Structures are given as structure tokens and as C-alpha cells.
Structure 1
């Protein structure tokens, strides 16, 4: 794979290497994490968490535990990001600690399934809330929902391909909008509780389901709402002073989101009975209709804006994974190129868009969430194993930020539980399909990556696309 290219010249005529700019400061970093986390989940998952765990009290415990788990996981990733200062998240960490094959299997699964599934799931929730006001008396047609979702994906692909700063400005704007929306829900809940609406919290643990599968699935749904806690690690090379801003952004964003989520769930339960909450298809809209009356439509708008901001953050980081994988030789060279003027990884973003649109066609929200969570936590576990390896075998590596070894051990145990619990307690054929798909990466890696069969097969296409898209190979920005 080509590692460098003379893409520009300075005044003396000497070549300069193209690289992505460090555009992200602390505010952008916090917005990328919190803005991606606060998306569709808090507006769509509370009823599913409550349904699976069975009681309001236990559901609040699930939400709090998910926040703690996300916080501990992000602290582990903060250490990894300051030891291995490369973009790419789990992919680059697994490759540096577990080898090329495991790294390829991770990125193969991530690029073709996990990231597109995440983008498609968030886009579907954005679309459902966007079209809901036009179909107040009946469910919106699936075709209309998917067309709206596709429009959102394509629109953000264009924005992210044009300018990094503009996409981050969108992220900051939508973060402010969604925090204000959640603040309205929190304040409404406080007023209800002050007014004496506490009956739904009496005997709050009655009916709790204590089986392994109900707890595991409840965690899947809750953790979907916290997805994005590791987003900053995908763009380390575009972060200013990562050794300082990475842990600082994590410590600001995730506790803020956790507290908001808990207060919002309390507000939902103050306004609705558990039965009403579980039967709602759009819990925020139901809350708005009960509490805000004729202004209830604002919650539908807020949920759509929230999902759109989360989709932007997921898209921003997802394209970078594809870009880094191509730069490491695990994807076609064209995907490791950046626009010569805008310095955005536009080929990788276009590819991510195309795969996401394919996943969107047959997808539905709940199946996407469960599939995403199972696969994601499998690779989170491998990543945390790599951190333990670095701590034990390579203690001499410089570590601007360091976590106690007990933290990655605890998160690794949680990851193992989340992967194995649903399979052991309630085996389903879908989990076998997921496992076989992950393993299938081996049969692509061995002939085409390890033995480099057909090395020049894509050369002509690469040159054509390079000229057409005005892109050139980009170097690591360390």
C-alpha cells in the first residue's frame, strides 16, 4: 500500500504531505461524544428497557449502570488513545495488540455491518419522528420512513465531505438543542413530582425480571442510548492536544449524559404509568402530549433533531474507521485518500453512505439495536484485553493518562456477560449467523491481504476515482 504522495508543494518547490487537520478542540470533543450519545435512544429505548426488566426501579438501575459502564469503558479508551495516538478506535487498538488478522476481522465487521447498522438505526428513528406529525392518526408507511432516513444519511454525507468545521458546528448546535429539549422534560418531571405525582414510584421494584436474558437485553437497549462514548477515539489525529483533551472531554460528557438520562426517565415515569410507558411507540411524544398538551408536537421535533445530531456524530467517526483501515492496507487504497482542498476523507464517507443505505433497505430498529450491541461488545472485550496486555507486558510505554488495572478488568467482565448472556439463556439462530459473518473475515484476509492475491486489480479504478473525486493519499497526523 502506498504510504505517501507528493500532493502539494511549498514556495520552495519541495513536496508536502497531505494530512487531516487537527480541527477539534475541547468543545468540539465534548460535542462529538455527548452529541452522538444523546440521540434516538433516550426517546425510543426507555419503554423497551422497562418491558424487558419488568419494573420502574430496576429500569432506573439499568440506566445508571449503563452510564457507569460507559464511563469506565471510556476511561480505558482514554488511556489507549494516549498510548496509541492513531485514529481508528477499536480497529487500530486491536491491530496493535492482537495482530493484523484480528484487526482486519474487527474492521471488516465494523465497516460492513456495525457502523452502517448504527447509522441506519439512528436514521430510522430520525425519520420516524420527522414524519410522525404528518401521520397522527396512523403509523407512517415504511417506504416514507426509509426515504426520509435515506435523505438524512445522504444530506449528512454531503456536509461531512465538504467541511470538518461545518460538520462540527452542526454537532455543537444540535447538542445544545437536544440538551434544552431534555431539560424541558426534566423540568416537567420535577413539577409533576412536586405536584404529588409519585404513585408510579411506589413498590418500584415489584415485578422485576431477574433472568440472565432479560437483564442482558435490557442492557443492550440501554447501552444503545449510550453508544458514542468511544467516538472521540476514532478521530484522535484530528483532536488538538489529545493527551489532555481526550480524558477531559470524556469526564465532562459522559457524567452529564448519565445524569440527564436518569432525570429524563424519572420524568417519564412521573407522567406515565409503567403500562402506558411500555405501550408507547414514541415515549417522548406521549410524554409531550400528556404534559405539554397542544405543544406536545415539540417533543417530536426535539427527538428528530436529537437523532439528526447523533447521526452526524456517528457518520463523522464512521467514515474515519474506513479511512484508517484503507491507510493500513486492509481496504482499497482509494478509501485512504482525502480531498486535496477540503482535507476530508470523502471516498471513505461515500463508501460508508452506500453501505448504510444498503443496510437501511431491509432493516428495522429493534433488530438493528440487538445485532449492533452484540457485535460491538464482542470487539470492545477484545480491545480491553489489549489494554490489559499493554499494562502487564509493556509498562514502559509513555502514558499521559492512566487508569487503575481493576477498571479494564471490570469492563471486560461486563463485555463477556453482554456477549454470552443472551446466547446462553435464550439461544437464537441469529447469533450463529453473526458469529459466522465475523469468522468469514478470515477467508478474505488470508488470500487478499496476507498473500496479496490480485494486487493490481483495482489500480485503474483507483486512478479514475482519484481524478474524479479530486483526492490524494493522506498521511498519519501524529
Structure 2
């Protein structure tokens, strides 16, 4: 483990194997060092968490959860359990975020507790697969709902869906490159829109319940599939809808008063989302039979057609808006992870720079956009969900192990906020089970490929990071891109 006393808290020293040898940009004869602004308040923080969580999942995953677990009652238990797990995980991350007040989420926490090799394995898999896969998955769900009204009664062409998804990725990348405040305004606007849409679904379900439509809840646990694999896959699908619970930890350096606003935002956003998800699923199951729900390609649209009649297309628009807002939040946080890793010397120097006027990490955002568009080409939504979740919870487990290490070995570190040690232990056990359960119960060669891919990061780390082998021409390319993109090295906000 790395000794945190080496960098806590002011004038922190880097503990990675290699310092980024960035080329500073000279303007008007002066060398400039930039820093990202602390422009994220409590409202923006809540919007970032809730707005990213409420995306495509609640409109697409209910049928997958029900299909995996087998019964309406068990599916509601899964949704509630996923919300509880996300809540406990967020509280654990809130403590980490107030002890290590740096952006980067899991990457920076693993770097400071487990060392640079494990951190690089995370960033390698995150930058090349996990984060772009998440972006591609949300973009595909947005596109599917966005084009659905134009293809009533038939399945939209896959090429059209992927072109619309690519356009959404490019538009949001541009927004996030231009201005932090504007991207947060977009986040707040779409959060309001998607919450209103979910409230409409909840109200519709309540009306149907009042009218006596409770037949789908009779013997609600019948046909429940009890087994490691069905429960594990159901959790993967449910947790996809809660993905984003840790997003605020990626942008800690841009958060005002993180020691206060980080735990507050978590305690507001995640219970709100969990309650909404449960009520929306109750509404789905009130209006549709389990068979209808499982066979639906777009459960919110099916719900809308049955309840709203000719106005059912509104649900398709609402689902598209919801996914669009979630995609914006994923972009906002995802670019910061790449930016922080480059600042620590684990990615090319150009990705550690910010625009000299807009103060946004535009090179990192552009890079993330490019990889996401590549992943989008062969992308399949359900495959993305399963393997993204497997990879994510693998590194969540390592991160939580680091928190336990800090609580046991470094109790003297300042902790503006802390949780009982039982909470990270419970989440760690759940993370280990989520990683191992599908492999043990139903081994698939794809899980081996993903595992080998994660550990292949060590093969890249040794020559290029540890021994600092630099490809010829990289420095010249960095200077060219720096001038072309008008970016300069950025310091941390401390």
C-alpha cells in the first residue's frame, strides 16, 4: 500500500511511478498553468448523480431483470436491493472523496492505496473499454427511443440507430468541451424532464391500482429463479440503471466544499432515484402482465400505448430525453478520469491539458469521444451491460479494499465524513459476489477474455510507464496538438 502521508493534504506529492513531463505552453512570453474551476454546487452535484443514474436503464432494463429473475415480486426485491447497494457504495465513496480530495474516482483512490500498477490496469480497461462502452450503451438506448416514433410497428434499422447515437455523442462532446456551466445547465434541464416523465408513469400506475388492477401482483413470487447466475445477471441489469452513483467522485476538484456537498448530494440523489425506480416498476407491472413486459422492446413505450393511447409516443420522447441527459453526465465525468490519469503520467501528456480560455479538459473529452465512436460500431446493448458491469464491479472491489485499508491502517487521516466500517465490508462482499457469481454458476469464455484484457494492462505498464519508453515523435505531436487545440497543462484544485 502507498503511504498517504506523503501527499496529504496540501502541497501533495505524486506517488505514481512517472511524473508527467508535460510541455507547458508559452503565451505572451509567460508560462501558464491552468486549473479547473470549482463551479459545481449542491444542485449541480445532485443533478450529476441523479441525472446520470436516471438514463436508459429504467426504460430498458425492467424486462431484462424480470426475465432473469422470473417473477414480479422478486424483480422488485432486486430493484430495491440494487438501490440499497448503490446507496452503501456511495456512502463509502463519500468518505474516500473527503479523505482524498482529488478528481478521478476509482483511479485516484486505487493509485493512492494500491499503487500505480493496479491503477494503470484500471485506467487502461476504463479508457479503452469500460467508459466508452458505457457511453455507447447509453447512446444506443437514446437513439433507439429517439427514432422509434418514426418506425411505428417495426424495428428501426440498426444503421439509423447507430448514426443517431454517434450524432448524440458528438453533440454532447462539443457541449462539454465548450463550457462547464453550460453542460451542467443541460444536466439540470434534462434531470427535471426525466423526473417529470417518471412521475407521469408513477401517477398512471397509481390510477390503475386504484381502479383495482392488482391481478399481476397475485402470487407475485411464483416462478422465481433461485440460483447464483440468474440473481447475478438480474443484479447486473438492475445496477446498470443505477450506474452513475459514483460519478461525483470523478469531479471532486470541481465541486464546491466537497467535504459537505459530496455526502449531501449522495443522501439526496440516490434515495430519490431508488424510490422513483420502485414506483415506476410497480406501475409497469400494474399496466402490463409479466409476459407483456418481458416481450416488450421498449417497456416505457408499451406502457404509454396502453395507458396514454394515441399520446403514447410521449414516453418514447421522454425516454430519449432521459438517456440524453444521462449521456451528458457520463461524458462530463468520463473525460475527467482520462484527464487525471494523464496528469499522473499514466496517459499521454496532451490528455492532461485544459483549454486556455474555457478551462475544460477538451483533449481528454475528444479522446473519449473517439474511442466511444469506435466501440459503438460493433456495439450490442445487452452485451455491453453485462461485461461493463463485470469490469466495473471488479475495480469497485479493489477500491473498497483500499478504503478498509485506510480505516484500519490510517485512522489518523482527517475525515470530514466517515461511515461505519461495516458498510464498505458489505459492499465489498457484494462486489466480489457480483464478479464471481456468473463465472462460477455459468462459465463463459467471454469472462475470461475480459479478465485477460484487464490484466493485459500490466504488459503495457512495464515498458511505457515504469521504464518510460517514449515512442519517437510523441513530444512533437504533443506540442502540435497543444497549439492546435489551444490547451495548456492544468494543476489540481487544492
Q: TM-score, normalised by structure 2?
A: 0.95
Aligned to 1:293: 309
Aligned to 1:282: 298
Deviations 1:154-184 (A, max 9, x none): 0000000000000000000000000000000
- Corresponding position: 1:394 with 2:400: no
Aligned to 1:464: 480
Deviations 1:47-90 (A, max 9, x none): 00000000000000000000000000000000000000000000
Aligned to 1:331: 347
Alignment of 1:6-17 (within 5 A): 17=33
Contact 2:65–2:237 (Cα < 8 Å) also in 1: yes
Q: Hey, what's the Cα distance between the residues in 1 that align with 2:172 and 2:277?
A: 26
Structural RMSD (CA):
1.2
Deviations 1:285-309 (A, max 9, x none): 0000000001100000000000000
Q: Hey, what's the Cα distance between the residues in 2 that align with 1:429 and 1:84?
A: 37
1:453 is displaced (CA, Å) by: 1.3
Aligned to 1:430: 446
Aligned to 1:80: 96
Q: Hey, what's the Cα distance between the residues in 2 that align with 1:268 and 1:406?
A: 35
Deviations 1:202-224 (A, max 9, x none): 00000100110000000000000
Q: Hey, what's the Cα distance between the residues in 2 that align with 1:286 and 1:266?
A: 15
Distance 1:201 1:262, change over 3 A: same
Aligned to 1:54: 70
Instruction: Give the SS at the match of 1:398.
Output: coil
Q: Hey, what's the Cα distance between the residues in 2 that align with 1:348 and 1:4?
A: 16
Deviations 1:409-458 (A, max 9, x none): 00000000000000000000000000110011010000110011126641
Instruction: Give the SS at the match of 1:397.
Output: coil
Q: Hey, what's the Cα distance between the residues in 2 that align with 1:349 and 1:312?
A: 12
Contact 1:4–1:17 (Cα < 8 Å) also in 2: no
Aligned to 1:250: 266
Contact 1:57–1:201 (Cα < 8 Å) also in 2: yes
Contact 1:8–1:18 (Cα < 8 Å) also in 2: no
- Corresponding position: 1:35 with 2:51: yes
Aligned to 1:2: 21
Aligned to 1:130: 146
Alignment of 1:246-395 (within 5 A): 246-395=262-411
Deviations 1:236-275 (A, max 9, x none): 0000000000000000000000000000000000000000
Aligned to 1:213: 229
Aligned to 2:158: 142
Contact 1:75–1:403 (Cα < 8 Å) also in 2: yes
Aligned to 1:176: 192
Aligned to 1:188: 204
1:15 is displaced (CA, Å) by: 6.1
Deviations 1:285-344 (A, max 9, x none): 000000000110000000000000000000000000000000000000000000000000
Instruction: Give the SS at the match of 2:34.
Output: coil
Aligned to 2:3: none
1:3 is displaced (CA, Å) by: 6.2
Q: Hey, what's the Cα distance between the residues in 2 that align with 1:44 and 1:16?
A: 47
Q: Which runs of 5+ in 1 are unaligned?
A: none
Contact 2:25–2:487 (Cα < 8 Å) also in 1: no
1:137 is displaced (CA, Å) by: 2.0
Contact 2:32–2:488 (Cα < 8 Å) also in 1: no
Contact 1:94–1:103 (Cα < 8 Å) also in 2: yes
1:26 is displaced (CA, Å) by: 0.2
Q: Which runs of 5+ in 2 are unaligned?
A: 1-19
Instruction: Give the SS at the match of 1:474.
Output: strand
1:447 to 423, 447, 463: 463
1:6 is displaced (CA, Å) by: 6.8
Instruction: Give the SS at the match of 1:233.
Output: helix
Contact 2:263–2:417 (Cα < 8 Å) also in 1: yes
Instruction: Give the SS at the match of 2:35.
Output: coil
1:2 is displaced (CA, Å) by: 3.2
- Corresponding position: 1:199 with 2:215: yes
Aligned to 2:422: 406
2:257 to 241, 257, 273: 241
Contact 1:200–1:273 (Cα < 8 Å) also in 2: yes
Q: Hey, what's the Cα distance between the residues in 1 that align with 2:122 and 2:332?
A: 19
Contact 1:36–1:227 (Cα < 8 Å) also in 2: yes
Q: Hey, what's the Cα distance between the residues in 2 that align with 1:78 and 1:237?
A: 14
Q: Hey, what's the Cα distance between the residues in 1 that align with 2:121 and 2:26?
A: 32
